[in-house]
Amino acid sequence: MKTLESLEPTILREAFGHVPSGVVAVCAELDGDRIGLAASTFVPVSLDPPLVGFCVQNTSTTWPRLSAVPNLGISVLGEAHDVAARTLASRTGDRFDGLHTETNERGALFIGGASVWLDATISDQVPAGDHTIVVLRIVEAHVQSEVEPIVFHRSSFRRLAFDAPS
C-alpha cells in the first residue's frame, strides 16, 4: 500500500482516482455554436432548493463561455457514452462528433441517450484551489430510467455491474 508521505499531484491523482464518480456533459448552444465539457465531479447537493454541483478546472477555456449563458444542459452520460465522454473532454476537435444532441428553447443542450437531463442555471461559483465548484439550480429534469450511467474510476470509464435478483 502506498502512503501519502508527500502530497505530490501524481500521488493525489491516483488516490482521488479510487473514488468512482458519474460523468456529466455540461453543454449549451450559443449563437448556433454547441459548447460543452465533460465533468466527473458531479454531485447532487440539495432537494429544496433543487441544486447540483460539479467542479471545473480553472484553466478551462470552455467554462468562461459556458458560464456566460443563462441555462446549461446537464446530461448524466450513459454506459454507451464511453467514447463520447472522451470526445467531450478533449481539448481539440469537434466535441460533439457523432453525438445526437437536443437544444431546448432556453439554449440548454443535451446529449441523446443520457440517463438524466437537467436544465439548470448557475447559482454560485466557489473558488477551490485549482478548480471552481459550480453550484447549479435545476429548473427542469427528465429521467430515462432504463439507461444505466457510466462511471469514471481509476482513469477509466466503466459500466456498473449489477447482481442478479435473488
pLDDT in tens, 94-119: 788 888 999 999 999 999 999 999 99
- The CA angle 147-117-23, to the nearest 5 degrees, is 70
Q: What is the pTM of this model?
A: 0.83
Reported CATH class of domain 20-61+70-113+132-145:
mainly beta
Domain residue limits, the chain: 20-61+70-113+132-145
Residue 54: band (very low, low, confident or very high) from pLDDT cuts 50, 70, 90: very high
Residue ranges of E strands in 20-108: 21-22, 24-30, 33-39, 43-46, 51-57, 72-76, 101-103
